[in-house]
Amino acid sequence: MNAQPARPAPSGAFEYLTTKKDEFVGWARKFSLFPYPFVTACCAMEFMSVSATLYDTDRFGAALPRFTPRQSDLLMVVGTVTHKQAPVLKKVYEQMCEPKWVIAFGVCATSGGFYQNYAALPGIDRIIPVDLYIPGCPPRPEMVIDGIMKLQDKIARERHPIITDRF
Amino acid sequence: MNEAVFAQVREHVGAVAREAAVTNGVLALLIEPASLLEVVRALKNAFGFDMFLDVTAVDWPGREPRFDVVWHFYSTKHFVRVRVKTRVAVADPTVDTLAPFYGSARFMERECHEMYGIVFRGNDDLRPILLYEGFEGYPLRKDYPKQKEQPLVPYRDAKP
């Protein structure tokens, strides 16, 4: 008797999947967000809360903060941005590789909030494009989680060109 | 104990102070700009007011002279505070610097200068400290437009 190695019999089911490139790449990208937290003000407390165990953004694959913009693809602007700080934010955004998304976290990053004065930038969308706004002063963790899920939906529905005009 | 110190201070500077009243446990002196150095020297050397707490200004639009310049000092010997006020006109908002007495006055005078336009004679470094280079105007004056913006980064054209 010569022993043959045991091989599972091909069943003919689930050996291949067919999908579209954009759906597949979008599915991969939406679960591998690497956020860069640009944290300037009191919303940071809520950001810590939503990142920590109780609310746990790790569930969405959006937990591991990269503290260099060059390794991240999600810019979370958390808190008030002043005119003096605007060049820094612009430079951080420009250092990030494509593809990249931006969340305005809290009302100050969204519109300046109640800081309608000489010092504050009235919304970061004056200087960089924003994909998602999360209102609130500060936003509840549930709103942040809802925002991240909406951003994931947006990423899943997007076109994901392999070669763009910027690459 | 506060009253004893305050009585001594009042006796000492009474000749140059236009007002000297105790409000909320703080001795408030109103003096002429010309006698500032004399009063502060006495406060520091004779009465132990060795901590410079703050210098700021108050804008009274319509009043002449328009600005109050306000200093606060604290005595770590007697545990009391004193407030020194003087009035300057908008045409020449100049007072003497206190940097020779208190080193920390250099930074606080920079802030007061950029926010209110008060000039501190003798402080050779009145660059902006909280604002940025190129900022025009004095934002905490009452006649500064509330929503005027002086952005450093040009705005994007289309706001989504």
Record: contact A83-B159, CB cut-off 8 A: no
pLDDT at A1: 57
CATH of B2-121, one of 3.30.460.80, 3.40.50.720, 3.40.710.10, 3.30.830.10: 3.30.460.80
pLDDT at A167: 61
**Of B131, B132, B155, which is closest to A126 when you measure between CB atoms?**
B155
CB A57 within 8 A of CB A148: yes
Q: Chain B closest CA to A78's CA: distance in Å?
A: 19
pLDDT at A75: 92
Which two tokens mark B13? Answer: 């500077």
Cα(B39)–Cα(B14) distance, integer angstroms: 10
ipTM of the complex: 0.79
Which two tokens mark B109? Answer: 């005078």
SS (H, E, C) chain A: CCCCCCCCCCCCCCCCCCCCHHHHHHHHHHCCCCEEEEECCCHHHHHHHHHCCCCCHHHHCCCCCCCCHHHCCEEEEECCCECCCHHHHHHHHHHCCCCCEEEEECHHHHHCCCCCCCCECCCHHHCCCCCEEECCCCCCHHHHHHHHHHHHHHHHHCCCCCCCCCC
Cα(B2)–Cα(B5) distance, integer angstroms: 5
Residue of B nearest to A88 (CA): B153
Q: How far is CA A118 from the centre of its chain?
A: 30
Which two tokens mark B116? Answer: 């209110």
Which two tokens mark B136? Answer: 């025009």
The domain segmentation of chain A, as residue ranges, is: 34-156
pTM, to two decimals: 0.82
Q: Interior CA angle at A50 toward A78 and A156, to 5°?
A: 80
Of the candidates A92, A112, A98, the one whose C-alpha atom is nearest the C-alpha of residue A41 is A112
pLDDT at B23: 83
Which two tokens mark B98? Answer: 């206190």
**Of B139, B155, B156, which is closest to A118 when you measure between CB atoms?**
B139
Task: Kindly give the confidence (pLDDT) of every residue in chain A, 167 residues in length, as a single tens digit, with 9 standing for 90 and above.
Answer: 566 667 766 666 677 778 888 888 888 888 888 889 999 988 889 888 888 888 888 887 776 788 888 989 899 999 999 999 999 999 999 999 888 999 999 999 999 888 888 999 998 999 999 999 999 888 999 999 999 999 999 998 888 887 777 66
Question: Which residues in chain B come in under a pLDDT of 50?
Answer: none
Interfacial residues of B (vs A; Cβ cutoff 8 Å):
130-132, 139, 144, 146-153, 155-156, 159-160
Q: Chain B closest CA to A50's CA: distance in Å?
A: 27
**CATH class belonging to A34-156:** alpha beta
When computed from its CA atoms, the radius of gyration of chain A, rounded to whole angstroms, is 21
Cα(B82)–Cα(B104) distance, integer angstroms: 17
Q: What is the identity of the amino acid at B115?
A: M
CB A148 within 8 A of CB A62: yes
Q: Name B114's Cβ contacts closer than 8 Å, sequence gap at least 6.
A: B126, B128, B129, B130, B131, B135, B138
pLDDT at A134: 93
